[in-house]
Amino acid sequence: MQQAEIKFERENLNGLVAVGTYLVDAARRMGIDLAREEFGETEFSVVKITKGIEHLSAPTKTEIENLSAERRKSGERFAEQAKIKRAGEITIMTTKKTEEAKPEFEAKQEEYRKEFEELPLEKKIASLVELESIALSETFYFIINSPYKIVGKIMDVMAEFGLQMEADAKKQARPAEHQTADGDNQPSVSEEHQTAEDDQPSVSEENGNKKTTRGKKAEQPPSPSI
């Protein structure tokens, strides 16, 4: 299997990646969370190739429509659309992630914490006891009304469904150009083998009505008696 040497400058990380890997997958395997940029209703991870851009696939239609000629000329690519096509050295500069606003539930949690700190000791204890009793009652109710086998089965189905959704989403996110080039509609090896076997004539067709059992000697006609 051919491999390319890939280096992420900002993170000072480098490693070997198999040819055919998308840059977003290469970054994920090296523990790098790429920053995403909005383009209309879609988000893409924009990276800048500072070395080895010739080892990547050509810009896709999506990249050409969303990235200006100046940005593409400077080496910017969508990590979800750029695929390593041949072995060589590739150097990437990622975009620095901006600090995201705290989610709403985190803001409420922080507000509740401040309010709790301002309560007198007696009210703090009363609040903790109340919360603990509520949580305990809900736990008992769930255990009593949920047979273990049913819960386990539901979890298995949900996990399998989640993996299937992830695989389908990843396939749909791939550029249409790459799906055609990679031959997604080609028959599998087993299908080709089965077709080849179907086209071969059987032993009975070649020899007419003559049948021979493998591993056994053909029966000899009885010798004439003297």
Distance of alpha carbon 47 from alpha carbon 80, whole angstroms? 10
Instruction: Give the predicted TM-score (pTM) of the model.
Output: 0.51
User: Where do the domains of the chain lie, and which CATH numbers do they carry?
Assistant: 3-94 (3.10.20.30), 104-170 (no CATH)
pLDDT at 18: 95
pLDDT at 188: 43
For residue range 165-175, what is the model confidence (pLDDT) as tens digits?
Answer: 777 766 666 78
Q: Is 202 left (phi over 0), alpha (psi -120 to 50) or beta?
A: beta
Distance of alpha carbon 88 from alpha carbon 4, whole angstroms? 5
pLDDT at 165: 72
User: Cβ(75)–Cβ(53) under 8 Å?
Assistant: yes
Instruction: Copy the structure tokens of residue 84.
Output: 């390593």
Name the stretches of the chain with pLDDT < 50.
140, 143, 184-196, 202-218
